[in-house]
A and B are shown apart, each in its own frame.
Chain A
Amino acid sequence: KQEVTQIPAALSVPEGENLVLNCSFTDSAIYNLQWFRQDPGKGLTSLLLIQSSQREQTSGRLNASLDKSSGRSTLYIAASQPGDSATYLCAVRTGDTDKLIFGTGTRLQVFP
């Protein structure tokens, strides 16, 4: 059974720092991995999608990497801003199903 873990559970940093959020999964037979942002009381906003054949994806200040064989992904946030404060979730899609299996998220606070 696929399990997804995110470390740390919470993170508080001053503005301007570069951050790394970690996601690990137990079954390396994934189809793709997606990173999301969730603001309080809101739905999920898709940030990046990495296919199983890819090593990384970049969007603006965000870079996500994937090491499928070791069951790990990282989300790198450059030059963090207070507007980046939110919960970040990773989710994997296994090869035999279209559902996403989520981690419990990392709650990020960036203070001025």
Chain B
Amino acid sequence: GAGVSQTPSNKVTEKGKYVELRCDPISGHTALYWYRQSLGQGPEFLIYFQGTGAADDSGLPNDRFFAVRPEGSVSTLKIQRTERGDSAVYLCASSSGRNQPQHFGDGTRLSIL
């Protein structure tokens, strides 16, 4: 596609539920990133994939968060036993290389009631 696509654009769920957020990167981009942005703040890094493998998952806040990219393209961020503090905008980005810009999707706004 022309840009990074994220679905759903909005997700509202109850505390304790499981959610999956999807990211479809720019075609051919080998690097994929997940960030989380709270209101009035800059995005904070969660996890980075190079191909199918997670090259850096140091930003995942705890073991309720997990992400996969099984075929080196689409990625899914999974959150178990959601808490109200997980409410934020989850942003995905992709890049064609270390010295190339990261291109972002419009994000998924997650609200935990």
Pick from B59, B102, B107: contact of A46, CB below 8 A. B102
Decide if B42 touches A43 in the complex (CB within 8 Å).
Answer: no
Q: How far is the CB of A44 from chain B (nearest CB, A)?
A: 4
> In the bound complex, how far is the Cα of B94 from the Cα of A43, in angstroms?
13
Chain B, range 89-113, C-beta contacts under 8 Å to A? 91, 93, 95, 98-107, 109
Q: How far is the CB of B38 from chain A (nearest CB, A)?
A: 10
Chain B, range 34-69, C-beta contacts under 8 Å to A? 35, 40-45, 48, 50, 55-56, 58-59
Pick from B42, B91, B99, B103: contact of A4, CB below 8 A. B42
Using Cβ atoms and an 8 Å threshold, which residues of chain A touch B98? 31, 93, 98
Query: What total count of A-B pairs have CB within 8 Å?
Result: 64
Pick from A4, A97, A100, A104: contact of B102, CB below 8 A. A100
Q: How far is the CB of A102 from chain B (nearest CB, A)?
A: 3
Closest to B55 in A: A98
Answer whether residue A71 sits at the interface, using C-beta atoms and an 8 A cutoff. no
> In the bound complex, how far is the Cα of B14 from the Cα of A77, in angstroms?
44
Give the contact-size bracket for chain B: 20 to 34
Chain B, range 1-47, C-beta contacts under 8 Å to A? 4, 6, 31, 33, 35, 40-45
Using Cβ atoms and an 8 Å threshold, which residues of chain A touch B102? 34, 46, 100
Contact with B along A18-41 (1 / 0, CB 8 A): 000000000000011010100001
Decide if B42 touches A89 in the complex (CB within 8 Å).
Answer: yes
Chain B contact residues, CB within 8 Å of chain A: 4, 6, 31, 33, 35, 40-45, 48, 50, 55-56, 58-59, 91, 93, 95, 98-107, 109
| CB-defined A-B contacts under 8 Å, sample of 11 | A4-B42, A43-B4, A43-B104, A44-B93, A49-B100, A51-B99, A91-B42, A99-B33, A100-B43, A102-B43, A105-B42
> Which 8 A-B pairs rank lowest in CB-CB distance, beginning with the nearest?
A102-B42, A99-B45, A44-B104, A43-B104, A43-B106, A46-B101, A49-B101, A104-B42
Chain A contact residues, CB within 8 Å of chain B: 4, 31-32, 34, 36, 41-46, 49, 51, 89, 91, 93, 97-105
